Amino acid sequence: MPSCLLIAGTHSGVGKTTVALALMAAFTARGRTVQPFKVGPDFIDPGHHRAACGRDSRNLDGWMLSSQHNQHIFFRASLDADLSIIEGVMGLFDGSAATGQQGSTAEQAKLLKAPVILVIDGQALARSAAALVHGYATFDPDLTIAGVVCNRVKSPGHFQLLKEAIETEAKVPVVGYVRPHDRFAIPERHLGLHMALEGRSPDFYTALGEWISDTLDLAKLEKIASSCASFPLTENERTDKGGQSPVPHRVRVGVAYDRAFCFYYPDNFEALATEGAEIVTFSPLTDQALPEVDLVYIGGGYPELYAETLAANTRMREAIRAFAACGGIVYAECGGLMYLTQGIRDHNGQTHEMVGLFPAEVVISQDKLTLGYRQVEIVQSCAIGEAGLVGRGHEFHVSTLEAKGPLAFSCRLWDAQGREVGYDGLMAHNVIALYTHLHFASQPAIPRALVQRAHAVRSAVIERV
């Protein structure tokens, strides 16, 4: 069983991302192979994880995925790592509902038997820090907090006061503190932190790791990590060195990947590969033509920030329209959906022309945030499967769809509490676009349907030729 640490927080914004990144970078600099993970449906933090330790970060989620899927993702990705570091989501016990643990960091900690390092904001606390930690340490008797990190602590004297109070009265070891420094603050925007692709050099993460090395007890943390308990696995899972046997490539999948489109689950790519897909990338921002592919996959991201550049690249927009007109399969999520409409209307009211596969405009409004888990049921057979198929994912966007003509939807939506919340899945021939980011591990029939449909279209073209 690999060594493991789960970095949790008392609440969102407490600094768990900073601590997790610093530890990833610090242990990587010491020669450890670090495997990162993120609890919850997040694409931005995993990008920073990858920049900090050079490995794709995997998402773990108790609402979108089954316990077995989460364990399998964790075990497979950790097999060749010296240390796995999991960054939690929101506060330690926050999940998909006000009561119950589903979707929470605590749920994953118990599922994976992972030692929890709790990050607290110590800047305005003294003895009260002990009461805070005591509450978190005793709230769930099945969960053990193995250590505490005090964030935003300016002096060794303040830290010693916090350490004595917490260890004496809450009976939880304190493994160090993090001093505030403007250099290591990652700017935020409407959907979270700025992305790692937006100019953060490797030196930033290296310096962050060095910054915390003097105030965090890395040796103690590594010892805590080695105490990670094992969980039951089947013999196949224990001997699995990287997934199923290679499948002969049946189709080529062109994935849009650049600063405008970079929100993808690595497990989605693996699911497509398992079905026989070869993944190639292209950039709607800079490339003038599509690569030779049978399926186009345009994920989420920030197309609204690059709308002018996307609009100016008329050759790529024409190439995608031509691909769709010839019957090519196009699958898009959130930012990809925005790109496939007639245009994106920005905060200033200016509309930037997009691909135009759907008679609608997307209107950006930072005052209207749509956020939440989604259960997606296909109600009209389409490129992602037959009617009745159900998958899970999440919505996270600040835009709304404004119809300019008749729109056809292929899916019905429910939230995490089982309430129906409308329709999704814009459909036009072999094109399907959802606001929902689907996690393919929640429904393996979806990537299978995409590859099979793309292969069928390719075979039909070959026969005609």
- pLDDT tens-digit readout, 384-411: 999 999 999 999 999 999 999 999 999 9
Note whether 313 and 303 are within 8 A (CB). Answer: no
221-250 per-residue burial string, b: 16 or more CB within 10 A, e: under 16: bbebbeebeeeeeeeeeeeeeeeeeeeeeb
Q: Which amino acid is at 38?
A: K
| CATH architecture of the region 3-238 | 3-Layer(aba) Sandwich (3.40)
The rounded distance, in Å, linking the Cα atoms of 238 and 245 is 15
- The type of residue at 361 is E
pLDDT, tens digit, for every residue of 254-299? 999 999 999 999 999 999 999 999 999 999 999 999 999 999 999 9
349: exposed, middle or buried (Cβ count in 10 Å: 0-12, 13-18, 19+): exposed
Supply the pLDDT for residue 244: 55
Confidence (pLDDT) at 253: 98
Give the pLDDT mean for 132-145: 97
Contact indicator for 107, 86 with CB cutoff of 8 Å: no
Q: What is the three-class DSSP state of 75?
A: helix
The predicted model gives 152-170 an average pLDDT of: 97
Question: Are 284 and 310 spatial neighbours (Cβ–Cβ below 8 Å)?
Answer: yes
What does the pLDDT read at residue 465? 35
Q: What is the DSSP string of 250-283?
A: -EEEEEE-SSSEEE--HHHHHHHHHTTEEEEEE-
The answer to whether residue 46 scores a pLDDT higher than 80 is: yes
Closest by Cα among 336, 263, 330, 352 to 45: 263
**pLDDT over 50 (residue 74):** yes
Proportion of the chain above pLDDT 90, given as a percent? 85
Checking if the pLDDT of 320 tops 70, the result is yes
- 187-198 mean pLDDT: 50
pLDDT of residue 459: 76
Average pLDDT over residues 325-351: 96
Average pLDDT score over residue span 122-135: 97
Q: How confident is the model at residue 203 (pLDDT cuts 50, 70, 90)?
A: confident
Give the Cα separation of 149 and 269 in Å (integer): 35
Question: What is the structure's pLDDT at 321?
Answer: 98
Per-residue pLDDT for 241 more than 50? no
Helix or strand run (H / E) with residue 57:
none
What is the number of other CB atoms lying within 10 angstroms of the CB of residue 51?
20
Start and end residues for every CATH 3.40.50.300 domain found in the chain: 3-238
Domain ranges in the chain with CATH number 3.40.50.880: 251-464
| Identity of the residue numbered 294 | D
pTM of the model: 0.92
Mean pLDDT of the chain: 92
CA distances from 442 to 66, 244, 358 (A): 8, 18, 27
Catalytic residue ranges? 334
CATH number of 251-464: 3.40.50.880
- pLDDT band, residue 458 (cuts 50/70/90): confident
Structure tokens at 273: 């590969």
pLDDT band of 189, cuts 50, 70, 90: very low
Between helices 202-213 and 44-53, what is the axis angle to 10°? 80
User: What pLDDT shows up at residue 196?
Assistant: 52
Say how far apart CA 201 and CA 60 lie, in whole Å.
27
Which 3 state secondary structure label does DSSP give 184?
helix
Which two tokens mark 270? 């693996």
